[in-house]
Amino acid sequence: MNHEEYKYVNVSTNGAFNRKNLIDYKRLGSPEGLKDAYMTYFRYNDEMVEHFNKNKTVAKFKGSAWSEWLPIDIDSEDLEESQMYLTTIIQRLADYGIDENTCRFYFSGNAGFHVMIPSAYFGAVPSEDIGKRFKRIAYLLSEGVEIDSSIYDKTRLFRLPNTINTKSGLYKVELYPFEAMSMSIKDIQHKALLPVEELDIDDEFDLSEELTEIYHSPFEKPKREVKSGAKAKICIETMMYEKDLEGERDNIGIRISSHLRQSGLNPKMMWVALNEWNDGLDAPLQDYEIERIFEQGLEGYQFGCKDEFLKGRCDPNCLFFQDDWQDAQERIDNYESRKSTDV
């Protein structure tokens, strides 16, 4: 089922912050050759049109959405490591009844790879919580692999194929699975010097019963007693006082910026707080980087407790800490490890 009423997307060109109006995706035309061009991979119906006309933005949309593809974004500073992660995911697809020949694989044009899996494998339907359900499946398929979990926000933009990544000057190009796994990084980058034609892939496959059951299972919110003296968002507080953030400054900065916005600070106050945080780093970000993080914070992104960066700084004394979550022991271990390191 294609859910044809879900036809609107939001696009951005020349950067992720130049969002345009809602557009019928069938009228987009070819993006080939555009620089830093993005589109929401989720699609929306008239409910989003009403939201956009009222708010002049897609941010904070609470309605339903749908996508025919589940994306997984693998990104590492080491492209060879990204390729290794990609290979792990491709090999794992078969464990859940997913034929790699029905999926699409892309070199992002810079430091990572994108995997697109047909959502029909697990019977995805339009819903308000589709982002959370997509994230649930993505975590399952990428266990042990570092992925960008923020892309499952319902209004998240995703780089379009055959467009130029200005960080490298290379195109985001599609690869066959055997190419993605076996080609040398140098050869992949050489192939990305030019756009490539969309590949023919298989479009017939059977539903994965296991993934379908997991996807459609209800979310259960654990019940717990609030600890005496518990504080909220200790993970954010921890981030704000860390000084050595080599390799993590962008990711931490975006989460701090988003938290400042959600805490009710106006843009001017956010800007002052972000610069104060940046000045305290051992290796501060440059002005243009802080501006980008500031703008991303204004977008209204929300990072939950299972976000990889927040999770690694979880504290049992947090108001939101869940004692009966499956990963509770891992969080406690992280906390104890940090305490021993700080002594």
What confidence tens digit (pLDDT) does each residue in 28-44 have?
999 999 999 999 999 99
In this prediction, residues 328-332 reach a mean pLDDT of 48
Instruction: Return the pLDDT at 248.
Output: 83
| Closest listed residue to residue 150, CA positions, set 270, 310, 19, 334 | 310
> How far apart (Å, rounded) are the C-alpha atoms in residues 280 and 283?
9
Three-class DSSP category at 127: strand
pLDDT band at 174 (very low <50, low <70, confident <90, very high): very high
Q: Write the single-letter amino acid at 254.
A: I
pLDDT band at 328 (very low <50, low <70, confident <90, very high): very low
Q: What percent of the chain has pLDDT over 90?
A: 57
Strand partners, 71: 116
Task: Look at 220-224, 233-237, 257-261 and tell me which has the smallest mean pLDDT.
Answer: 220-224
Q: Which CATH class is domain 8-216?
A: alpha beta
Whether the pLDDT of residue 279 is over 70: the answer is yes
> Does an H or E element contain 38, and which?
strand 38-40
* Mean pLDDT of all residues belonging to the chain: 86
pLDDT band at 222 (very low <50, low <70, confident <90, very high): very low
Instruction: Return the pLDDT at 42.
Output: 98
Q: Note whether 103 and 96 are within 8 A (CB).
A: no
Q: Specify the DSSP class assigned to residue 166.
A: T
CA dihedral 172, 132, 312, 320 (to 10 degrees): 150
Whether the pLDDT of residue 197 is over 80: the answer is yes
The residue among 327 and 36 whose pLDDT is bigger is 36
Whether the pLDDT of residue 333 is over 80: the answer is no
The phi, psi pair for 156, rounded to 5°, reads: -70, 140
| Closest listed residue to residue 99, CA positions, set 91, 107, 110 | 91
Q: Can you give the pTM of this predicted structure?
A: 0.66
Task: Look at 124-133, 218-227, 292-301 and tell me which has the smallest mean pLDDT.
Answer: 218-227
Whether the pLDDT of residue 67 is over 50: the answer is yes
**Where do the structural domains in the chain lie, given as residue ranges?**
8-216, 234-342
The residue among 17 and 158 whose pLDDT is bigger is 158
In this prediction, residues 4-15 reach a mean pLDDT of 95
The tokens describing 313, both together, are 């700084």
